[in-house]
């Protein structure tokens, strides 16, 4: 299904509206955005796939997607399962990295034609899933870019029993907890500013609008679009040595972008060393949300990375 997203006042301040559609893949209905190459530039015949992070959504890439389309790239962004406008797992389900990797594996063939060059870009949680995918499907990628995405901190194996206990408790709490009601977009923006205090203006309202939806039960106000299960603790400890094995298998040219004030890891150097000749780009003065607050620099670094990868493929 394809339609043109109707522009709101917030949309028109930030961007021309992309085309939207829904794609069924791996048992989940995925919401997909597409920005076609700008008409005034030659189309490159290359597709950029943007994968958002935890509790984020496809529309938040708008400041990256529009300039890349203006450079002649076809740009896609989708909502991961349980995020944005994509489907939730439903009763008895949960969210694990292998699910995201399989979703991507099933989505790509429906989004790009066989042989079409694909530049895969992920942020945070989305970058971790992209790295895992790239570690086993490098032949399908022209390049990969990881924005603040070298994986979560490693957790000791003996933490597993306590994590399972916390997971059971938090899942039960989510099941019994009433839906969080947000008064309006201003209230949503205030809540989003708790972790991103510089978020404001038209772009802040744009994000707040796409982060929320009307309450399903008819209650006045809004609620978040993401599945509340995402706010529970995963029962599985993240293991850096397993993730590093995926990084070491990536053969597509890799760009790693890190915010100077972002989520930096104690073993960052070891994880970077596992990649095959990565380009590492640190963004000064910027935190975790590079695509929100340093979009111009992100676009420039991505475009240069894509050009290098294309030259290498010739």
List the CATH number of the domain containing 13: 3.40.50.1820
Predicted confidence at residue 145, as pLDDT, reads: 99
Q: What is the mean pLDDT of the chain?
A: 93
- Give the tens place of pLDDT for each residue, 94-145: 999 999 999 999 999 999 998 899 999 999 999 999 999 999 999 999 999 9
CA–CA gap between residue 2 and residue 19 (Å, rounded)? 7
Q: Is residue 92, in this structure, part of any structural domain at all?
A: yes
- Output the CA angle 279-124-287, nearest 5 degrees: 80
Predicted confidence at residue 7, as pLDDT, reads: 40
The parent domain of residue 259 ranges over: 2-156+239-313
219 band by pLDDT with thresholds 50, 70 and 90 = confident
8 band by pLDDT with thresholds 50, 70 and 90 = very low
Q: Is residue 244, in this structure, part of any structural domain at all?
A: yes
Q: Please state the separation of Cα 224 from the chain's center in Å.
A: 17
Q: What's the average model confidence in pLDDT over 278-307?
A: 97
Q: What's the average model confidence in pLDDT over 199-214?
A: 96
- Give the tens place of pLDDT for each residue, 224-244: 999 999 999 999 999 999 999
Give the relative orientation of helices 201-211 and 185-192 as an angle to the nearest 10 degrees: 100
- Where do the DSSP E strands lie in the chain? 2-4, 19-25, 28-35, 47-51, 74-78, 118-123, 143-147, 212-214, 222-224, 254-259, 279-283
Give the global pTM.
0.93
Strand partners, 133: none
Predicted confidence (pLDDT) at residue 4 exceeds the cutoff of 50: no
Least confident of 48-62, 83-97, 170-184: 170-184
Neighbours of 241 (CB within 10 A): 10
Predicted confidence (pLDDT) at residue 5 exceeds the cutoff of 50: no
CA–CA gap between residue 79 and residue 23 (Å, rounded)? 11
Q: With beta carbons less than 8 A apart as the criterion, state whether 216 and 106 touch.
A: no
Least confident of 155-159, 218-222, 245-249, 250-254: 218-222
* Overall number of domains in the chain: 1
Q: 3-state class of 293 per DSSP?
A: helix
Q: Is residue 210, in this structure, part of any structural domain at all?
A: no
Q: Is residue 195, in this structure, part of any structural domain at all?
A: no
Q: With beta carbons less than 8 A apart as the criterion, state whether 143 and 119 touch.
A: yes
Q: Is residue 113, in this structure, part of any structural domain at all?
A: yes
87 band by pLDDT with thresholds 50, 70 and 90 = very high
DSSP label at 225? S
Predicted confidence at residue 121, as pLDDT, reads: 99
Predicted confidence at residue 90, as pLDDT, reads: 86
Predicted confidence (pLDDT) at residue 30 exceeds the cutoff of 50: yes
Q: From residue 176, how far is each of 95, 105, 145, 172, 220 by CA, in Å?
A: 19, 34, 39, 6, 20
Predicted confidence (pLDDT) at residue 202 exceeds the cutoff of 70: yes
CA–CA gap between residue 146 and residue 151 (Å, rounded)? 10
DSSP label at 182? B
User: If 0-12 CB within 10 Å is exposed, 13-18 middle and 19+ buried, where does residue 62 land?
Assistant: buried
Predicted confidence (pLDDT) at residue 215 exceeds the cutoff of 70: yes
Q: Is residue 9, in this structure, part of any structural domain at all?
A: yes
- Where do the DSSP E strands lie in 26-159? 28-35, 47-51, 74-78, 118-123, 143-147
Q: Is residue 143, in this structure, part of any structural domain at all?
A: yes
Q: Is residue 18, in this structure, part of any structural domain at all?
A: yes
Predicted confidence (pLDDT) at residue 58 exceeds the cutoff of 90: yes
Strand partners, 121: 50, 145
Question: Taking Cα atoms as reference points, which of 309, 146, 173 lies closest to residue 233?
Answer: 173
């Amino acid at each position: 299904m394809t339609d043109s997203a109707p522009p709101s006042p917030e949309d028109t301040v930030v961007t021309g509206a992309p085309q939207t559609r829904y794609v069924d893949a791996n048992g989940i209905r995925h919401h997909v955005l597409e920005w076609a190459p700008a008409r005034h530039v030659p189309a490159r015949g290359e597709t950029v796939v943007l994968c958002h992070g935890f509790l984020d959504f496809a529309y938040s890439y708008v400041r990256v997607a529009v300039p890349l389309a203006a450079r002649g790239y076809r740009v896609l962004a989708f909502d991961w399962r349980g995020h944005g406008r994509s489907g939730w797992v439903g009763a008895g389900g949960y969210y694990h990295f292998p699910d995201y990797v399989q979703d991507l594996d099933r989505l790509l063939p429906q989004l790009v034609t066989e042989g079409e060059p694909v530049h895969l870009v992920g942020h945070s949680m989305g970058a971790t899933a992209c790295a895992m995918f790239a570690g086993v499907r490098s032949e399908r990628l022209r390049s990969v870019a990881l924005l603040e995405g070298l994986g979560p901190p490693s957790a000791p194996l003996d933490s597993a029993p306590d994590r399972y206990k916390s997971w059971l408790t938090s899942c039960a709490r989510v099941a019994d907890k009433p839906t969080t009601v947000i008064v309006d977009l201003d209230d949503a923006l205030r809540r989003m500013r708790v972790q991103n205090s510089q978020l404001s203006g038209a772009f802040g309202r744009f994000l707040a609008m796409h982060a929320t939806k009307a309450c399903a039960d008819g209650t006045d106000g809004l609620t978040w679009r993401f599945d509340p299960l995402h706010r529970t603790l995963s029962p599985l400890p993240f293991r850096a040595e397993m993730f590093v094995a995926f990084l070491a298998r990536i053969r597509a040219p890799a760009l790693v972008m890190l915010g100077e004030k972002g989520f930096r890891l104690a073993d960052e150097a070891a994880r970077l060393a596992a990649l095959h000749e990565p380009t590492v780009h640190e963004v000064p003065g910027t935190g975790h949300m590079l695509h929100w607050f340093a979009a111009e620099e992100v676009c420039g670094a991505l475009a240069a990375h894509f050009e290098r990868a294309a030259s290498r493929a010739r």
